[in-house]
Amino acid sequence: MITIYDIAEKANVSAMTVSRVINNSGRISEATRKRVRKVMEELNYIPNSMARGLVLQKTKLLSLLITDITNPFYTTIARGAEDTAKRSGYKLLFGNSDEDYVKEKDYVEMILSTRVDGVLFAPTGDASLEQLRQLQKHGIPFVILDREVPGIETDVVLGDSKDGARKLVEHLIGLGHRRIALVNGSPDVSTARLRYTGYREAHLLGGLPLDESLVVSLNYREFQDEASLQALLSLPSPPTAIFAANNLLAVGIIGALRQRGLSVPEDVSVVCFDDFGPAETVNPFLTVASQPAYQFGALGMQLLIERIENGPGSENRKIMLPSELLIRSSTRTWDR
């Protein structure tokens, strides 16, 4: 491995001078600068960022933790975050918690031991509190994405889950549905709670009775709980529409409905949160509350960088991004 000492020797200067050339710090004669640069090229020198990080106590490395790398919502966030980080000269380390509390914990440990300068954090849920406290304890700045965690104060970028949910359910009510199921994420996740609230509000405003037997809570990551769907469909008066709390749940539900010989939207209408990325444009099907994912990432990253560069003690900002109702063909009127 080539070090600054190798460069120094070959260029007849001290290691310190090489360091100065690398960092453009201090005053150096144009002649030696050129000489050093040339030797660096010849020897194909690459600075060792571990050594540098060790003395500087910072790495110019940021971390983005998302909860599902196969969900287009999160990969689009990743794009936005990366573009923004790069613009400020930070490198980005992606992490994927798979909606799994244990993986999240592992990941935070790695973050801590890698000594990144900051973290853009999409929590798995309220239990992420422990991980976030851990980050605080070690003085790592972070910004929270998509889901609030009670007990933690920092910058946060959220979608308007309540409003989006209300819009979706009002759309269904407007189509004539009166039995609308909610297949929600876990109540340990703030977005799931807010989507429930929106669902509730739409019922109250629309004069529909609220029936708790129509509400089910699962894991956001995928729909595997056939039993709960079966229970919904076996109700004396089964739902004619289903509001899935996110895109992946919707996918699972539609598959399960079809296996039972039910078709969407003829037998059941389905709506959900979050779009599907490029794939969806081919054959737009699902009626969704679409959130501006790229902006989630870009804004979150911007807040994080400001937070890092302004040092501690900056006030906490909370940004709420609106969602847009996109009516497509997974919903239809109900007049039976």
Partner DNA sequence: CTGTTAGCGCCTTCAA
Partner DNA sequence: TTGAAGGCGCTAACAG
Residues forming the site for DNA (CB under 7 A): 1, 3-5, 12-17, 19-20, 22-23, 25-29, 31-33, 47-48, 51-52, 54-57
Contacts with a copy of itself, residue ranges (CB under 8 A): 1, 44, 46-51, 53-54, 57, 59, 61, 69-70, 72, 75-76, 78-79, 82, 86, 91, 93-96, 106, 109-110, 112-115, 134, 137-138, 222, 247-248, 250-251, 254-255, 276-283, 285-286
Q: Which residues contact 231 (CB under 8 A, 6 or more apart)?
A: 216
Q: Report d(CA 244, CA 286) in Å as an integer.
A: 11
- The smaller minimum CB distance to a copy of itself, of residues 80 and 239, is found at 80
Q: How much of the chain is in helix, strand and coil states, percent to nearest 5?
A: 45, 15, 40
Kindly state the tokens that stand for 14.
């001290």
Handedness of CA 97, 101, 106, 108 (dihedral sign): positive
200 binds, among DNA, a copy of itself, none (CB under 5 to 8 A by kind): none
325: enclosing H helix or E strand: strand 324-326
- The smaller minimum CB distance to a copy of itself, of residues 196 and 243, is found at 243
19 binds, among a copy of itself, DNA, none (CB under 5 to 8 A by kind): DNA
Give me the least distance between CB of 109 and a copy of itself, in Å please.
7
Give me the least distance between CB of 274 and DNA, in Å please.
41
Give me the least distance between CB of 189 and a copy of itself, in Å please.
19
CA-to-CA separations, 277 to 75, 138, 284, 294, 305, in angstroms, rounded: 9, 36, 11, 11, 27
Q: CB-side exposure of 322: number of CA atoms within 13 Å?
A: 4
- The smaller minimum CB distance to a copy of itself, of residues 196 and 273, is found at 273
234 binds, among a copy of itself, DNA, none (CB under 5 to 8 A by kind): none
250 binds, among a copy of itself, DNA, none (CB under 5 to 8 A by kind): a copy of itself
227 binds, among a copy of itself, DNA, none (CB under 5 to 8 A by kind): none
Q: Report d(CA 245, CA 183) in Å as an integer.
A: 6
Give me the least distance between CB of 82 and a copy of itself, in Å please.
6
Kindly tell me the burial class for residue 97, based on how many C-beta atoms sit within 10 Å of its own C-beta (0-12, 13-18, 19 or more). Answer: buried
23 binds, among a copy of itself, DNA, none (CB under 5 to 8 A by kind): DNA
Q: Report d(CA 72, CA 105) in Å as an integer.
A: 23
Give me the least distance between CB of 198 and a copy of itself, in Å please.
23
Kindly state the tokens that stand for 275.
């779009």
Q: Report d(CA 250, CA 270) in Å as an integer.
A: 7
Q: Which of 265, 272, 219 is closest to 247 using CA atoms?
A: 272
- The smaller minimum CB distance to DNA, of residues 12 and 263, is found at 12
Give me the least distance between CB of 189 and DNA, in Å please.
34
277 binds, among DNA, a copy of itself, none (CB under 5 to 8 A by kind): a copy of itself
